[in-house]
Structure 1
Amino acid sequence: MRVGGELDMDTGPQLHDFLQEVSDLGAVRVVLDLADVTFMDSSGLGVLMVWFKELDGIGGRLCVAAARPPVEYVLRLAAVDQVLGVYGSVDAAEADMPPAAS
């Protein structure tokens, strides 16, 4: 899923709601393409962590890919990269996803 613009307290709820819809449709392995995200604050990080825990709790996985340097810096500064996968590209993230449970 491609995310764009700013990921902050104003837009975080929209991402949360969208991830809820995706989850309700049965998706448990999600790659967020952050290439078009220009800014992320702590509320954006909070949305990522909530959904990491949500998907992890049902045997799924959330990871992020292609973050611009300022956004990647925020992910690393907050040590989010120690919890969920942070990849240089969507292809790399998808290649590292475990196969879907059958």
Structure 2
Amino acid sequence: MRHAFRMQLKPGMRDAYRAAHDHIWPELVDLLRARGVRDYSIYHDEDSNALFAILTIEGEDRRADLPSHPVMKRWWDEMAPFMETHPDNRPCEWPLERVFHLA
């Protein structure tokens, strides 16, 4: 299963956001992989400052507990200065509908 969504960076935060992801925590990678997340990419649109993400879920979707996991919460706290978030620092996320796929 693929999941695509959009997030929104705050002005001037692209480089800081990228730097944080260049040094993503191993425990976060392990957590995401344990929940079936594979082939996860995030793209930046310079004109709108939007982030477009797509990831593949291997097997059953086991991400339901991620918002309450301490590692995920700490990561969101680290990312909050860079992007639009909810009051709990969870990134604002807008799902994207696939309208075309070429396999």
Higher helix share: 1
Q: TM-score, structure 1 length as denominator?
A: 0.27
